[in-house]
Structure 1
Amino acid sequence: MVHKQVLDWDSLVSLMKQEFTPSHSADILWKQILNRTQGANESIGIYVATMTCLFDRMPISVSNELRLKVLRDINTTTELINYCRKLEETKLKVKEFNPPQEGQLTLEPDLDYNFIIGQILFPIANNDSLGSKLYFFLNCEQNSFKRPRHCVLKCPRFSHLQHVSSGYEIVVGHLGFFLKLLQFV
C-alpha cells in the first residue's frame, strides 16, 4: 500500500511527516517561533539562521512578509542583519568605552576635554536671623578671576556647598562627599 503512495523522495518525506508528526505540531512550532528571542551571547547571524530553520519546519509555507513581521518591522532579511550587526557593534563599543580624560590633547589644549564647567554661584538658602547665606559653588577654581571675594575654597574641580558664616563646607567629589571646616582670617 505504501509502495503505491510513494512515487518519489518528496512524496516519501511528505508521507513520513504525516505519519510521525503530532497533529498539533504546527501550533507548538508557531508558539516557539513567536517566543524565540536572541540570546545575550548569540550573534545575529546565528539567530536569523535558527529562525529561518524554524520557519522552514512549519508544515505550511510562511511568507517572507510574515517572517519579517515576526522578526521585526524591516523589509528584507539582509536589512535586518545589517541593522542587527550595527547594534552588536554599538553594544561592543559601549562595553569598551573609556571616558575622555583631561590632558590628552597637549598640542591643542583649548580643544581638550575639560571637566570644569566654570564657576557658578547659587544662593540656595537664606537664614536672616543669623545674617548668613548658604552658597553652592559648582567647580569653583582657586585661580579663577571670577571667584566671589568670599569664596575660600581650596579644592578645584569639586562641587562645594558652603555655609559662609558658620565656617563649614560640604565638598562633593567623584568618590562621595566630606565635611570641611573653614578657617576665616
Structure 2
Amino acid sequence: MHVSQKTAPTADQPEKLPLHIPLDIELYDSEGNVIALQKDGSPVNNVLNVTAAEQTFVFDGVAHKPVPSLLREFSAPVKLDYPYSDQQLTFLMQHARNEFSRWDAAQSLLAIYIKLNVAKYQQKQPLSLPLHVADAFRAVLLDEQLDPALAAQILTLPSENEIAELFAINRSASHFGGA
C-alpha cells in the first residue's frame, strides 16, 4: 500500500514538512473477511504510522487485491483521496466492522451520485441512481442486526453545506458587478 501526504502552504509556512498521520486500516477479502496484517510472519498493528511525504507498506499473505477500509475510527483529521469504486464503497457499507467506515463509505457513495446528478440536471438530462447503489442502501434498511441509530446515520443525506463543499467554485464567476 502506497501512501502520500501533502499539506497546503500557509502564509507563515510556505513549505510544510510531513505530518505524523496514524492511519488505521483494515483489509477485506472478497467474502468480507478481515485479512490479518502480517509482515515477515509477524502480526502488524492496524494503525500504520505515516511519517514521510511518501511511504509504502507491504504485507504478507495478501493473495488478491483487497478492499481497504482506511481511516477507521476517524484515526486522523485528514482528507482522504482514494479511488474507491462504487462496488468497493457498497462492499464497505455492508462489511466494514467499523461504524465510522460504514458511514463514511455511504457518504462517499452519496457524494459521487449527488455530483453526477447535479451535472445531469444542469444538462437537462434525467437523473439516475444505479440499482446496485440503491440495493446497498436498501440492505442497510433491511439489516436487522444493525443498530438502528447507526442505520439512521448511514441513511442520512449530506447537509446542504456538505453538498456545497463537493463543488469547486469558479472564483471569477462568483464575483459580480460592473466591468
Q: TM-score range by the shorter chain?
A: under 0.3
Question: Structure 1 length as normaliser, TM-score?
Answer: 0.24
Rg larger for: 1
